Amino acid sequence: MADAIAGVARTQVTVTVNGQERSGNVEPRTLLVHFLRDDLGLTGTHVGCDTSQCGACVVTVDGVTTKSCTKLAVQADGCSIETIEGLADGTNYHPIQDAFWEKHGLQCGYCTPGMIMSAKALLERNPDPSEAEIRHELEGNLCRCTGYQNIVKSVQYAAEKMRGAG
């Protein structure tokens, strides 16, 4: 059995993450979230469930928001990925990160990377979403702490700031 496990073929996967080309050798069953966290050291993307329901693992793959626990690393080969680590510009937080800070959009912070990545995708598509649209967009992201009210306020505040900046 040990030999069989040791003999599992590994495949090279190369992705562009937050603008940088990164590679690793993975087993065919390796999930993208584990590749990001364990092989590339990008632990900002969280694992909050094993049922693909919580959204803590959301990243974008070729611009599409994706629960990275639902995709194999080999399926992402050649793709361009953005994770929460790619949002800040040096020591300057992204406006959505600032908004979560300003409006208390987090408590434990476990859901926050996924929330922010989903919110970013929404605001890129729709810079002035209604409260209902924000709630709809974040339906796939669960938070056990905040009751969601301050998360919605954070996204509204970020939208306002980003429209002002744009």
**Shortest Cβ distance from residue 107 to ligand FES (Å)?**
4
Per-residue tokens: 72: 């194999």
Single out the residue of 141, 150, 146, 156 nearest to residue 95, CA to CA.
156
- Report how far residue 86's alpha carbon sits from residue 71's, in angstroms, rounded to the nearest whole number: 20
Token look-up 């990545």 returns 117
Q: Give Cα 144 to chain centroid, integer Å.
A: 17
Stretch that binds ligand FES, among 18-26, 36-44, 47-55, 126-134 (CB under 6 A): 47-55
Contact characters 88-127, ligand FES, x per CB under 6 A: ------------------xxxxxx----------------
**Shortest Cβ distance from residue 103 to ligand FES (Å)?**
13
Token look-up 């300003």 returns 102
Task: Find the binder of ligand FES among 54, 84, 87, 122 (CB under 6 A).
Answer: 54
| Backbone dihedral angles phi then psi of residue 10, each to the nearest 5 degrees | -115, 150
155 binds ligand FES (CB under 6 A): no
149 binds ligand FES (CB under 6 A): no
- Report how far residue 18's alpha carbon sits from residue 22's, in angstroms, rounded to the nearest whole number: 10
Per-residue tokens: 140: 């796939």
**Shortest Cβ distance from residue 70 to ligand FES (Å)?**
7
Q: What is residue 85's DSSP assignment?
A: G
Contact characters 6-45, ligand FES, x per CB under 6 A: ----------------------------------------
143 binds ligand FES (CB under 6 A): yes
67 binds ligand FES (CB under 6 A): yes
- Report how far residue 12's alpha carbon sits from residue 124's, in angstroms, rounded to the nearest whole number: 32
Residues that bind ligand FES (CB under 6 A): 47-49, 52-57, 67, 69, 106-111, 143-146
